[in-house]
Structure 1
Amino acid sequence: MTTFQEETYLPAEDRYSSMPYRPCGTSGLRLPAISLGFWHNFGDLSSMDTMRRICFTAFDHGITHFDLANNYGPDEGAAERNAGLILTRYFRGHRDELIVSTKAGYGMWPGPYGDGGSRKYLLSSLDASLKRLNLDYVDIFYHHRPDPDTPLEETMGALNQAVTSGRALYAGLSNYDGPTLKKACAILDGLHCPFVICQNRYSILDRTVERNGLKEAAAATGKGVITYSPLAQGLLTDRYLNGVPDDSRIGRGGRFLKRSDLTPARLEITRKLNDLARSRGQSLAQMSLAWLLRDRAVTSVLVGASRPSQILDDLGALENLDFAGEELEEIDRLSAAWA
């Protein structure tokens, strides 16, 4: 049974003094330049005390956006359930200051209705998410991935129903490419659905959104872009500069990051990127976030944290978003060599 220490949380009075807030495309919704993602570190294997202190640190510094999905954990649903406990216990009086998002699209329960993009799955999943989060609505509800087995009209219609029913304020799409985004946008515009943002993986080392047309299509249709894995799951930090620590994601045999992802040649690339960051007076993580945020097409970057100090380090990226032309050329050269 989860228990809370007896503590009253009083947010910092100056929490809005230094965080920039950027519009989601042409909409009126603004997000903090840095947002908090709940993917890996808010499941049942994490300490509740650490989780709540991460949330406190984030909000105290103007991070008003908490991003979740139905399958975040471990296990599936655990991150939403733990977030719900924290929101209820400590943030109930600040709900109107928060943007809470969640998603559905990947497998959540057995049988033919437990994943994908059907109306049945999306709306059932949203109801379950709201129950776990102990919220009446989420601010953004995303379809988490394209589903080739469901007509796009059905999936977009479900997102629209989520909004018209009051269970979500805005719709979003995650992991879509440019052409599919344009088709989805045309449907949602026809339904007058407030679709405002795309969530995709994007980092110095992963330029997929530049190649598949997503970034260009988001700009053309007036949608914001929020990036996940901006630090390439730790590869763009000092974590692996001297090899693979036993307690790292790679060292523990993580599902999404393998030893084969970090070859000697790639390790040398991260060291050169780190040298460039140091010459700018930044950590590698800070430079990697700054590289994304220098682009006004990027609304926000999603960062994860296993301890509050990581949030504070990431915030340092905001102190220098300016890059010289030769710095950008060197980053592009090293990124191309990574592939």
Structure 2
Amino acid sequence: MSYLARHERYQTMQYQRTGRSGLKLPTISLGLWHNFGDTTLIDNSRTLLRHAFDRGITHFDLANNYGPPPGSAEENFGRILREDFRPYRDELIISTKAGYTMWEGPYGDWGSRKYLIASLDQSLHRMGLDYVDIFYHHRPDPETPLEETMGALNQLVRQGKALYIGLSNYRPERAAEAFALLREMGTPCLIHQPKFSMLERTPEQGLLQVLQQEGVGCIAFSPLAGGILTDRYLNGIPHDSRAASGSRFLSQEALTQDKMTKVRRLNALAEKRKQKLSQMALAWVLNHAQITSVLIGASKTAQIDDAVSMLTNRDFTHDELALIDEITT
């Protein structure tokens, strides 16, 4: 049965302007880092994407190496796009990235012009697209001149393969240098994607200020700290959880007694606010003026619904913010 998007999909989602650009993003975006590779049934991935779009989530975030195996998330997304979302392409923001290891040899990693241009060509082929809306350099390259990396990103926009450019995982000083280069080239950076949550507050140490000054948007990844900022681990480690599986993205060792004490105190505050810990965690990130959107992962449609429902309770009192600071810093 062909997919027909829900008519009311835009009525409950909130959209925010990205920095000083003309582009608006949904405050909740869907990341395809997990649950969209070949280890997941394609029908499950299709259900998540359909449900997200039906709830007004118009931004789907990928990378060349998402899977597993690397590349499979883009391939599967491309199939679903072709079969379900082709009529809605102009209502979607599709982003992808390059910067981590993608193929063997000296040209499949980091930030050379050779790698970035070849990688985006491969990504477009996998997804069946003529262009992506946002193309990110996924991580800074300590050896390639910044002028080469930014020049490649500028070239891809000039070629029509990407509409906007983003950066991810750049420290404040390096980000400022990159922004200046891109601005001189006539392709200003649209957005930066850092890791940011109540338990990972590094962006507050300079990056958010740089983004504010430069008029660059910000989309936070891992706002739930890999699942720690949910009710999943409040009473131990479930046998079917990511931490129990030996995942490299969340180890049992990361769930220290000190960290879980903080999480339980945060959960008590969330309960007073009459929302789930995960919802409060998303709302806290969005409370920062520089934040355009938060990236969520999902394995169930209920997780998408929880995130969107947060939008009705995303404000904090001064005392609540002070308590969160006391707990987490």
TM normalised by structure 1 equals 0.96
Looking at structure 1, the residues matched to 308 and 270 of structure 2 have their Cα atoms a distance apart, in angstroms, of 15
Tell me the SS of whatever aligns to 1:135: coil
Give the aligned partner of residue 68 of structure 1: 62
Q: Deviations over 1:41-93 (max 9, x none)?
A: 11111111111110111100110000000011111001111110111100000
Give the aligned partner of residue 171 of structure 1: 165
Q: How far did 1:195 drift?
A: 1.7
Tell me the SS of whatever aligns to 2:292: strand
After TM superposition, the structure 1 = structure 2 runs for residues 1-339 of structure 1, keeping only pairs within 5 Å, are 7-211=1-205, 213-336=206-329
| Structural RMSD (CA) | 0.8
Looking at structure 2, the residues matched to 82 and 208 of structure 1 have their Cα atoms a distance apart, in angstroms, of 33
Q: How far did 1:131 drift?
A: 0.5
Looking at structure 2, the residues matched to 296 and 34 of structure 1 have their Cα atoms a distance apart, in angstroms, of 15
Tell me the SS of whatever aligns to 2:232: helix
Q: How many residues align?
A: 329
Q: How far did 1:265 drift?
A: 2.2
Looking at structure 2, the residues matched to 115 and 221 of structure 1 have their Cα atoms a distance apart, in angstroms, of 28
Residue 179 of structure 2 contacts residue 188 of structure 2 at CA under 8 Å; is this kept in 1? Answer: no
Structure 1 ranges of 4+ moved more than 2 A: none
Q: How far did 1:113 drift?
A: 0.4
Looking at structure 2, the residues matched to 256 and 57 of structure 1 have their Cα atoms a distance apart, in angstroms, of 25
Instruction: Indicate the percent of aligned positions where both proteins have the same amino acid.
Output: 57
Looking at structure 2, the residues matched to 256 and 109 of structure 1 have their Cα atoms a distance apart, in angstroms, of 21
Q: How far did 1:334 drift?
A: 1.2
Give the aligned partner of residue 4 of structure 1: none
Q: Which runs of 5+ in 1 are unaligned?
A: 1-6
Tell me the SS of whatever aligns to 2:179: helix
